[in-house]
Amino acid sequence: MPLRFDGSLGLPTETVMPVSLVVRVRDTKAEAKLSGQLGSETLHGKLSISGDNLDELLRRFDVGGGLPSVGKADFSLQAVVDAGGDVLRLESLDGRISNSRATGIVTLALGETPRGAVTLSFANLDMDEWLTGAPSPVGFTPWRQMLRAMPLTLDVSADVLTVRKSVLRQARIAAKIDNEVLQLDQVTALLPGNSVVMGSGGADWATATPRFDLHFEASSDNLRAVFDWLGVAAAQVPPDRLRVLTASGHLAGTARELSLSDLQLRIDTSEISGAATLRFGDRLSVGINLASPVLNLDSYWRRGAAAVDWTSLRGALAGFDANVRASIGLLTVADTPIRDLLIDGTLINGEVNFRQALSSDLAGMALRLEGRIDGLARGEPELHGLRYSLGVIDPDRLARLLDLALPVPADRLGRVAASGRLAGDAHRLSFERQGEAAGAALTLSGLVLDLGHAPRWTAKLSARHDSLIALVRLLVP
């Protein structure tokens, strides 16, 4: 490193000696100036550092690896130096990189067990400016050796933090790093929409598989503003939705697996609790266990909004596997209330396996499904022994939903129930059904060919009633 030194020593007194030192980096405008009083084991004075190209300076000293590029940013630093014994303190620190300015204190203890403490407060920290033109993602590897040798305490805050062209306020991170173990005492930020994010926890990257463990809390008075900031489209959601959010939970895992537990989520008036897991690899694997007392999906879909893109949805189903258990006390979808809904099943390589899917009241009937459906990702569903059972609770309501006319009054039908089995695809679908209505037992089985094109079917029907007279009275009152 080509450096040029200029210095001077004043006349010493009994205890100190005036000292002045200037260090310049050749072929740049970077320089450091130190002036003060030098004692036998102490130094007290003022330090100033300045330059017009921080990236070039870091490159020359070979310490920029792993940091985001700051371009040809000019920089400056002024501080009061107080050194004694094995402790060096930079007090009244005032530093600037381009338009970002910070004040604070830096303390280095350089004894047998070196330690560092950094407290910085930014008035305005523009991360977009720092990260623009970065040649590669920010890395950490070049700094691991230094942090092994010197544990570090950090307390960094920013009154205004610019990220993704949006302004965050009162951002702060308070942490300790010791032997490649990170302890997060506090992480906070105010997001758009009067939203607050808080977290605490830790991370351990000393092992071959670094692991983190975090507790988080979040709240928002305008979730839609947060979605806009994240670039998440929500135009199909009515304007009176996506307002209030509260969330808390526990997030832990590694780069290959994430685990979310103790989730408590409230969006507007809907409450959801549960847990989830994500496993990354050649194929994404998802595990979800959620519960909600009331969930109205209709309120989150604007009338007249574009229909669901089923082609894209089928493509998404082919890209991951899932294990899902969801229970909802009252679900409203397509103007239909569904009570006591439970879905317990898997999605493996595009095949849905219902361990059980049931509802105590779906449009006036109790329903239960078990079995497998394959080919959803291809757009060619194939049923493998899909078993169903249903009991009609309110025949009139079910008939209105299906736009059917009942042959007899609903109060004269008595118990109405059915169960059966479906197998095959749209080209060849076999069915078996056993039913009960108005005291009659019905059995129906058969085959449907070319469903959806030119359907052809064959069926066998048998019926039994214990009283012919009662049946005639029902049909001919």
Query: What's the whole-number mean pLDDT along residues 324-350?
Result: 93
Which residue intervals of 186-273 are DSSP H helices? 223-230
Rounded to whole angstroms, the Cα distance separating 26 from 9 reads: 23
Confidence of residue 138 (pLDDT cuts 50, 70, 90): very low
Q: Which of 121-135, 164-178, 183-197, 460-474 has the lowest mean pLDDT?
A: 460-474
Which DSSP helix (H) or strand (E) runs through 459?
Answer: strand 456-465
pLDDT of residue 218: 97
At which residue do the structure tokens 């300790």 appear?
Answer: 176
Has residue 213 got a pLDDT over 70?
A: yes
Please choose, from the candidates 290, 292, 300, the residue with its C-alpha nearest in 3D space to the C-alpha of residue 227. 300
Number of helices followed by number of strands (H, E) in the chain: 7, 26
Please choose, from the candidates 385, 392, 329, 327, the residue with its C-alpha nearest in 3D space to the C-alpha of residue 352. 385
What percentage of the chain has pLDDT greater than the value 70? 84
Please choose, from the candidates 401, 436, 402, the residue with its C-alpha nearest in 3D space to the C-alpha of residue 418. 436
Higher-scoring residue by pLDDT: 144, 255: 255
pLDDT of residue 231: 82
Phi, psi for residue 467 in degrees, rounded to 5: -140, 110
At which residue do the structure tokens 């506090």 appear?
Answer: 186
Structure tokens at 52: 């017009």
Query: What's the whole-number mean pLDDT along residues 3-32?
Result: 83
Q: Which amino acid is at 337?
A: P
Q: Do the bridges between strand 320-333 and strand 284-296 make them parallel or antiparallel, or are there none, so unpaired?
A: parallel
Rounded to whole angstroms, the Cα distance separating 102 from 95 reads: 5
Higher-scoring residue by pLDDT: 106, 233: 106
Q: Which amino acid is at 411?
A: D
pLDDT of residue 132: 62
Distances (CA, A) of 299 to 119, 240, 428: 47, 9, 38
Structure tokens at 269: 């008036």
Q: Which of 260-264, 385-389, 399-403 has the lowest mean pLDDT?
A: 399-403
Confidence of residue 357 (pLDDT cuts 50, 70, 90): very high
Asked if residue 122 lies in contact with residue 98, where contact means CB atoms within 8 angstroms, the answer is: no
Rounded to whole angstroms, the Cα distance separating 36 from 43 reads: 7
Confidence of residue 90 (pLDDT cuts 50, 70, 90): very high
Residue 36: partners with Cβ closer than 8 Å, 6 or more residues away: 18, 19, 43, 44, 45, 46, 81
Asked if residue 329 lies in contact with residue 320, where contact means CB atoms within 8 angstroms, the answer is: no
Residue 124: partners with Cβ closer than 8 Å, 6 or more residues away: 99, 100, 101, 158, 159, 160, 162
Has residue 1 got a pLDDT over 70?
A: no
Rounded to whole angstroms, the Cα distance separating 475 from 412 reads: 10
3-state secondary structure of 474: helix
Structure tokens at 391: 């009991």
Confidence of residue 261 (pLDDT cuts 50, 70, 90): very high
Has residue 303 got a pLDDT over 90?
A: no
Has residue 381 got a pLDDT over 70?
A: yes
Query: What's the whole-number mean pLDDT along residues 75-81?
Result: 95
| Cross-strand bridge partners of residue 442 | 435, 463
Question: For the chain, what is the largest distance between any 2 Cα atoms, rounded to a whole number of angstroms?
Answer: 128
Taking only the tens place, the pLDDT of each residue in 442-451 is 788 889 888 8
Which residue intervals of 164-263 are DSSP H helices? 223-230
Taking only the tens place, the pLDDT of each residue in 91-136 is 999 999 888 899 999 999 988 888 999 999 999 988 877 766 554 4
3-state secondary structure of 152: strand
pLDDT of residue 314: 72
The overall average pLDDT reported for the chain is 84
DSSP characters over 312-331? HHHHHHTTEEEEEEEEEEEE
pLDDT of residue 469: 56
Has residue 137 got a pLDDT over 50?
A: no
Structure tokens at 183: 């302890």
pLDDT of residue 146: 62
Taking only the tens place, the pLDDT of each residue in 179-209 is 888 899 999 999 988 999 999 999 987 777 8
Rounded to whole angstroms, the Cα distance separating 202 from 213 reads: 5
Q: Which amino acid is at 469?
A: I
